[in-house]
Amino acid sequence: MCQFLFLFNSELGKSGAELSFRMANVSKCVSQQTTTSYHPSRPKLSLPSFSLAISPFLLSGRPPNQPKPLLIFISLLHSTIMDAAASPFETSEMLGTFLTSTPLLKEAWRLCSTANAMGAGAFVAEQVGVVGYMAFSGVQEMPLLLGRDLNCGLLVPLDPADHGLFAPLKYRYDGEEPVMVHSGALGLFLDYHAGPDFQTQIHSLLAETKSIVITGHSMGGSVACLSALWLLSYLKSISSPPSVLCIGFGSPFLGNESLSRAILREGWGGSFCNVVLTHDVMPRLFLDQSLVQTSIWRFLLNFWHMCMMSPSSMNIANLQLTEEDKAWLFSFVAANMEQLVQAGEGSGERSFWPFGNYLFCSDEGTICLDNAASANKMMHLMLRTGFPNCIIEEHLEYGQYVERLSGQSLNRSFMERDHSESSYEASLLMALNSSGTYRPVLIASMAKDCLKMVRRMGHSPNLNAANLAVRLSKVTPYQAEIEWYKACCDKSIEQRGYYDSFKQRGASKRESHIDLNRIMLAAFWDNVVYMMDRNELPLNFHRSSDWVIEESQLYKLLVEPLDIAEYYRLGMHLKKGHYISNGRERRYKIFDCWWTERVVTEKLGNNRRTRYASLTQDTHFWARVEEAKEWLDNIRSESDPTNLAFLRDRLHEFEAYAIKLIEDKEVSADVLAKNSSFILWLKEWRAMKPDQTGLTQPIPSWLTWRPIRFLVPSWVTWGPTRFLVRYLGIDLQRFDFRFCLELV
């Protein structure tokens, strides 16, 4: 299902009633704009242009001259019909028709045509209202396209020089293949990114617009995708960033399956739209050495580039290809697509794989798919309806299709044979008709199965979210037992606290049971993250479900200290390095982002505590203590003055940080336990370090607290016992009553 997150006007989303299928009511709002273009060999120039926008606020009755026009709002449509498994309709045709009814594709293609006409290495930047556009030329020169570099066509790591341009996409699960992209497309993007004109234009759009559309035709579409990935990575650290959408017209495959998974993991799948015509071979090409070294490819590429720069001079007679050459090319592409479809998911790091949404355009209409396997199969089936002579010209006909489809009505006429008692079957036949695959009987049957496959794939996101809530109720007792274990450790005679008791545990049945609970809870939350990565949960799941943030934060505060204890107990820091940098699980990092977002959004955390927290608010705290213990040990054996000064500075910083947490009462009782790792470390550090007078610093008063215990005979009657328990904080242990007072 189409999952566009491209929200041009957030205020429209305040009322779901503001969106209707009267989207065909489109008016032309013509306003003269200024186009900024760049070409490496030409001076900058300004061109007049005109924009086409949807009539603003169609249903709210606002006049077209309102300052905040409706440009596109697909995410609300998606939220209405995203539950495909429960829907009685097949929605790919509806979504495709809706997208083509907006001015989005038309504006994007207009700028692509302008960039193409400017030649190799050109790009165009333009602002239309509150939306910024950047289009890359499809005419690109690189060794791969000309077949002169044997290494240029290979898949390479996304950020081989580790510049941090795509930092969010670098994470991968254990055993998962690295994110890889086409080396030639990556080289083109890096050349653009290093240029001052690109940086100037993109930052200008960021400062002056609320939404950015990055687009390109042919290889320009691949550059646009990498530019969008870089921009999304860059904007992730910015609060209230603008929306980003990438539209590629006939662009070839870009990366491997790991790239597709990484994009879904970040929730960016809806930010990419790949427009593909029925028989265009370019979006079905891998651009590997088996093709680009042939004379057929060189002749074809030169013909395309010539026609892109001068569309009026397009003449198929200028193409130096025989009928046999065209037939070979058609068979080559069809065989590659068939191989990709048969390989399916998990085909390996060296195989190309689609990502984002695919908008398939035919003479009859459009359909939109966001499932990669279905997109592969549909590209293969639609190609099989063509013939060798049609695959060359279609790469140059996107403008004609965009112009024609944007004017089509949402209403489709059914043929007599299309009528069905089932609403789902009727909508399925409508989608087949729009894809142009309904005529050949064999292909129509396979295309129908392809569309059904999307509907069959697993439970719906909303149902998955409901099932998670049920499963949470089943693992909650594990968490309750860990809370009970913490309470027992806090009241233990050993006074080691929660963290150290678990770290120094022996072969106790109780601790083994708690460790098993820890593992079971980790499996539950890892599964939540895994489902989000695979797009099996609703968009913004952590925002829409109230229990997610609360329960994940409680789990993190309660269980991460146990994970840290286990990490250092097993000596993993000696093999992998300290926990914070090398051992922390990804789920905790995600939970941090969720909680930080909520704190910023709801302005939480401004109230000062009046009592110590039940759980230490910094879940890294014990990992920091372990690092501080190592620094303290290193001081004893270090003789170099520079290193000694560095270690002392680090220890001073941690001490100040810890004291601040204690003063703000952001720590729980286990931190201040008499024999906890932190208290023992602090005593040792305070005894070692000199103050400004050269004397050792005094121990803080809260380090000298001692519990005063009174033993109460077990024969005391229940009445006085109940009084002592209720009002004086006495606790029952082994038939003795211990009364604890803390000196303040």
* Known active-site residue 395: yes
Q: Answer left, alpha or beta for residue 180, where phi above 0 means left and psi between -120 and 50 means alpha.
A: beta
Instruction: Give the Cα separation of 688 and 683 in Å (integer).
Output: 9
The two structure tokens encoding residue 344: 């399916």
Options 395, 542, 573, 578, the catalytic residue: 395
Q: Distance from first CA to last CA of the chain, Å, rounded?
A: 62
Exposure on the CB side of residue 334, measured as CA atoms within 13 A: 17
Q: Count other Cβ atoms within 10 Å, centred on residue 64.
A: 13
Write out 1-64 in H/E/C secondary structure: CCCCCCECCHHHHHCHHHCCCCCCCCCCCCCEEEEEEEECCECCCEEEEECCCCCCCCCCCCCC
Does the CA dihedral 397-400-404-407 come out positive or negative? Answer: positive
Chain centre to alpha carbon of residue 346: 20
Instruction: Give the Cα separation of 542 and 547 in Å (integer).
Output: 8
Please give the helix or strand (H or E) that residue 228 lies within, else none: helix 219-235
Contact 2, 99 (CB under 8 A): yes
Whole-number CA gyration radius for the chain: 32
Q: What does the angle CA 281 – CA 157 – CA 572 come to, to the nearest 5 degrees?
A: 145
Is residue 359 helix, strand or coil? strand
Instruction: Give the Cα separation of 92 and 438 in Å (integer).
Output: 15
User: Which residue is it, tokens 């050349």?
Assistant: 191
Instruction: Give the Cα separation of 234 and 169 in Å (integer).
Output: 12
Q: For 662, list phi and psi in degrees, rounded to 5.
A: -70, -45
Write out 149-162 in H/E/C secondary structure: CCCCCCEEECCCCC
Nearest to 463 by CA among 208, 83, 125: 83
Contact 183, 156 (CB under 8 A): yes
Burial letters for 725-743: b for 16+ Cβ neighbours within 10 Å, e otherwise?
Answer: eeeeebeeeeeebbbeeee
Instruction: Give the Cα separation of 308 and 112 in Å (integer).
Output: 10
Is residue 247 helix, strand or coil? strand
* Known active-site residue 218: yes
Write out 380-447 in H/E/C secondary structure: HHHHHCCCCCHHHHHHHCHHHHHHHHHCCCCCCCCCHHHCCCCHHHHHHHHHHHHHCCCCCHHHHHHH
Options 92, 113, 137, 218, the catalytic residue: 218
Instruction: Give the Cα separation of 687 and 698 in Å (integer).
Output: 8
Contact 52, 28 (CB under 8 A): yes
Options 280, 500, 563, 670, the catalytic residue: 280
* Known active-site residue 445: no
Instruction: Give the Cα separation of 509 and 407 in Å (integer).
Output: 72
Between the alpha carbon of residue 626 and those of residues 500, 580, 620, 681, the distances in Å are 11, 11, 10, 9
Alpha helices in 506-571 (DSSP H): 509-533, 541-544, 546-569
Does the CA dihedral 417-420-423-424 come out positive or negative? Answer: negative
Enzyme catalytic residues: 218, 280, 395
